[in-house]
Amino acid sequence: MQALAALFVVSALVVGAGGTDPTSSGDWNGRAVEVTATTTGDNGRAGTSESATDSAAISSDAGAVPWVPPGSGPRGLVCDAPDWCPGSPAEPAAATPAPASTPGVPGLDEVARFLVGDPRAVSEPGGWTVVGAQTNFIAVAGERERSGQLLGQPVTVHFTPVSYTWRYGDGAGQTVSTAGASWAASGLPDFAKTATSHAYGNRGSYTVTVTVAFSARYRFAGQGWAGIPGTLALTSDPITVTVKGVKTVLVGKTCVENPTGPGC
């Protein structure tokens, strides 16, 4: 927008008792102007009018703004850019997005419902054993993971077994950090001692269970994994182990000669 030279003549007709208003000065829309009014005397004769001029442009913080008559815009100004007009409404500030809500921190009580599927207890020999011999026990309880909604957020919860507590039914028990493995998988002979095995001292039937403790961690959508202090426990259905006695018998061959013979 270019600065324009402007000549503004203000005439004021004052109908009164007579006389002439003196030349006055003032502020019109932010510009210093001098105005000489034309008056009419008692004899009805008009006096002369003088013109007042305004500078071609005035200065503002934003630069030179041409002056125009009132009514052409805010405060009588015409602007090419909103920030050039004194009193123009400011540009609206860009909206700041609200911060994403932070999910709460769940505890074991909140994630317990995601832990499903009880562990299983297995014995070998299957369902029976011999007095004084080692009976091997194995817990079937692997890692597990489930997804769903938690605290109003999509979540995935992962469980890892960390300990196994055996109750052998004769008053004995132990807690170990391994689920156990079969003799064959461990490369051991039958009735060998293992980390989870137990030897019964008397004949009879015994009820055996294993309780597995799981650690838990969770991950809300778009976030990393976070652990939860403590563990959750699940107990297997009981199994029954029958313990039999052993008698010594004479055989025609040794176990080396006949590995399938009685007692071999």
**Per residue in 26-77, pLDDT tens?**
444 444 444 444 444 444 444 444 444 444 444 444 444 455 455 554 455 5
Which among 157, 155, 156, 146 is positioned nearest to 103, based on CA atoms? Answer: 155
pLDDT of residue 185: 96
Tokens of 261: 């013979």
What is the tally of helices (H) and strands (E) in the chain? 2, 18
Whether the predicted pLDDT of 231 surpasses 70: yes
Q: What's the CA gap between 62 and 70, in Å, rounded? A: 20
Q: If residue 31 lies in a helix (H) or strand (E), which one and from where to where?
A: strand 31-35
163 within 8 A of 175, measured Cβ to Cβ: yes
Tokens of 26: 């003032």
Band (pLDDT 50/70/90 cuts) for residue 249 is low
Band (pLDDT 50/70/90 cuts) for residue 147 is very high
Whether the predicted pLDDT of 155 surpasses 50: yes
Tell which wins on pLDDT, 183 or 151.
183
Beta bridge partners of 218: 157, 226
Band (pLDDT 50/70/90 cuts) for residue 14 is very low
Which among 210, 214, 208 is positioned nearest to 233, based on CA atoms? Answer: 214
Which among 212, 208, 241 is positioned nearest to 117, based on CA atoms? Answer: 212
Share of the chain above pLDDT 90, in %: 51
CATH 2.60.40.10 in the chain: give the residue spans.
108-244
pLDDT of residue 89: 56
Whether the predicted pLDDT of 142 surpasses 90: yes
Per-chain mean pLDDT for the chain: 75
Query: Could you give the maximum distance between any two Cα atoms of the chain, in Å?
Result: 164
Whether the predicted pLDDT of 100 surpasses 80: no
pLDDT of residue 41: 45
Which residue intervals of 45-186 are DSSP H helices? 108-111, 183-186
Band (pLDDT 50/70/90 cuts) for residue 246 is confident
pLDDT of residue 93: 58
Count of all residues that appear for the chain in the document: 264
Tokens of 177: 């950090």
pLDDT of residue 251: 61
109-129 pLDDT per residue, tens: 999 999 999 999 999 999 999
Type of residue at 248? T
Whether the predicted pLDDT of 207 surpasses 80: yes
Tell me which CATH code domain 108-244 carries. Answer: 2.60.40.10
70 within 8 A of 8, measured Cβ to Cβ: no
Tell which wins on pLDDT, 132 or 69.
132
Tokens of 170: 């004769």
Decide the pairing of beta strands 120-124 and 134-140.
Answer: antiparallel
Type of residue at 75? R
pLDDT of residue 213: 98
Question: What percentage of the chain's residues is helix, strand, coil (to nearest 5)?
Answer: 5, 40, 55
Whether the predicted pLDDT of 241 surpasses 50: yes
pLDDT of residue 4: 37
Tokens of 183: 């003799």
Residue 162: HSE in the Cβ half-sphere, 13 Å Cα cutoff? 13
pLDDT of residue 260: 76
Task: Confirm whether pTM is higher than 0.85.
Answer: no
